[in-house]
Amino acid sequence: MKKHIIYLLISGFALLSNMMLISCGDDDVADANDVLVVKSVLPTKVMEGQVVTITGTGLEKATSVVFPGNVSVNNITKVGNGYISVITPAGVSVEGGTVRIEADGESAESVMTLTVGKPEPLRVAPLDKEIKINECVEVYGKDLEFIAKAYFPGEDGKDIAVDASDFKRKATGSLYIYSPMGIKAGPAQVTLEDCSGKKYPLPEVTLSDKVLGGSEGGEGYAPIWEGEQTTGWWWHLPASELDLSAIAPEAGQTIKFTFTHHDAPQTFCLCDGAWGAPFIRDGGESGNNIVLAAGEDFLEFEISEGMATTMNSESGTALIIGGDITVTKIQIKTE
């Protein structure tokens, strides 16, 4: 009997010790998550008007973000657990530097440094022929990832604005911009606008009101999701959040993902809602797990059978997306 009592006492003490250890462990995790720490700042090349995403711990307490040059921003958007975003203000030091987060007497500084971008269009093509509707005006230069819009002269005397999300290509060294419907035919000056609102008139090109291929309509995309979602590992996009009123996903259609600007390579991984692996392109860790080049803010590839099935399911998960990228729009090509 005495042995049983001793055994019960030892067992009870061991159980109580484990409970205390678990409780302390939970407190340690909670304390660690509450410590103000900056883990990453993206992009690391910015200019006025650019969205900057910051990851770390304790960021929900942040009251201001201080940019190089001691320029402070108090309008902070809480994107998700461990993520905040702010708009780059005017007056950031051209020498660049670190970002500092302030929160109720605490502060934390980024390890990485920011640099300041300065768009500089240097060359336009083609200059030796007319550019038809749906053909591209090609622009080459530096820091072109900060271009937000292009303006074409319209036949009614008003400019036609083309948003950067509708460019065929947008990278730090080049832009391919579709000539839109309704342009004024003849010699024309296309104007670019960066995210701060500054405009850049381009050298003269010759526009045609003829449509590439002889069709009457322009190349279009139907948006099926819009927002701002940082993927992490993993983002399960519900089928119920897709707007399929304009188009139903089918295998073989072209799907287009638009991302916030990144001036460093970023990973992007995609599965259908059942963890099937569609082919995006070669050159990555696998066909569905790739690296986006710096400034590669758009990605197009074909919808797989599995993607079409889960995207049309109306319930459950449409797509499973991972990596270290922020998605802002998903579209399907209509033509």
The pLDDT tens digits of the residues spanning 86-117 come to 999 999 999 999 999 999 889 999 998 999 99
**Is pLDDT of 217 > 50?**
no
Residue 279 has pLDDT above 80, yes or no: yes
- How far apart CA 60 and CA 84 sit, in angstroms, is 8
**282 vs 331, more confident:** 331
CA-nearest of 147, 160, 139, 137 to 207 is: 137
Alpha-carbon span 170 to 261, nearest angstrom: 10
Encode pLDDT of 147-187 as tens digits.
999 999 998 889 999 988 788 888 888 999 999 889 999 99
Which helix (H) or strand (E) segment is 227 a member of? strand 221-230
What pLDDT was estimated at residue 9?
A: 47
Q: What is the reported pLDDT for 263? A: 66
Is 277's pLDDT higher than 70? Answer: yes
Neighbouring C-beta atoms of residue 293, cutoff 10 Å: 13
What are the CA-CA distances from residue 206 to residues 16, 131, 149, 190, 218 (Å)? Answer: 82, 6, 19, 10, 19
Q: Check pLDDT > 70 for residue 1.
A: no
Write down the pLDDT at residue 187.
95
Cα–Cα distances (Å) from 319 to 68, 77, 81, in that order, read: 38, 25, 21
Domains of the chain in sequence order: 37-116 (2.60.40.10), 120-211 (2.60.40.10), 221-333 (2.60.120)
pLDDT at 12: 52
pLDDT at 3 over 50: no
